[in-house]
Amino acid sequence: MIYDYHVIFGIVTVALTFLGYGIYLRSTFRGETKPHPFTWLLFVVIDSVVFVAQVMNGAGPGAWAMGIGTLLAGLVFVLALRQGEKNIKKIDWVCLAIAFIGIAAWSATNNALFAVILAAMSDAIAKVPTIRKSYARPDEESLSIWSLDLVRFSLSIVALSSLTWTTALFPAEIVLSNAVVVVVVLLRRQQLKV
């Protein structure tokens, strides 16, 4: 039996989703990682919007990782409320407000591409609280989810049944913004060793 490569890549991205979140959740349960609740709340909301937009625009197996990731991000958010970052700064509130304004702007339109553009911008802004926290305390952020997401979302683009700006822009933004998180954490860990 010959399988469609979209399905194969879709399955691989789902496996990477479970792997990345499994490592991140284990690290959070152990108290090694302190997720920022604002970032993870926004991930749940934004990823839900993008998942629906991708499905409605024929993403097929390329959307599977987004759907599963949305559910698991919800679990991280709940954990973040209990044992995550408690040092919430004014910039975190600003990022939360800006991201929700972007989400609200999306709901005012019926244009899927516009929704994905706003979601991508909101996702990048949602990572600012985590980047701020990770800059100050890079040892409190696990690189597992951010690093595996670089691979997972690169593969999810390949798995898209319909490769359009609407289906591919958001995973591409995740690859770029997660690379920023990884670089910040690695550089700060190296700087603080000295």
The band of 52, judged by pLDDT with boundaries at 50, 70 and 90, is confident
Could you tell me the pTM of the whole model?
0.83
Buried b or exposed e, range 144-167, using 16+ CB within 10 angstroms: bbbbbbbbbbbbbbbbbbeeeebb
pLDDT in tens, 63-101: 888 899 999 999 999 999 999 988 888 988 988 888 788
Q: Pick the closest to residue 168 from 85, 58, 72, 7 (CA basis).
A: 58
Cβ contact 152:171 at 8 Å = no
Describe the crossing of helices 37-56 and 90-107 by its angle, rounded to 10 degrees. Answer: 20
CA distance 188 to 153: 25
pLDDT in tens, 138-161: 999 999 899 999 998 898 888 888
Give the pLDDT mean for 28-41.
Answer: 92
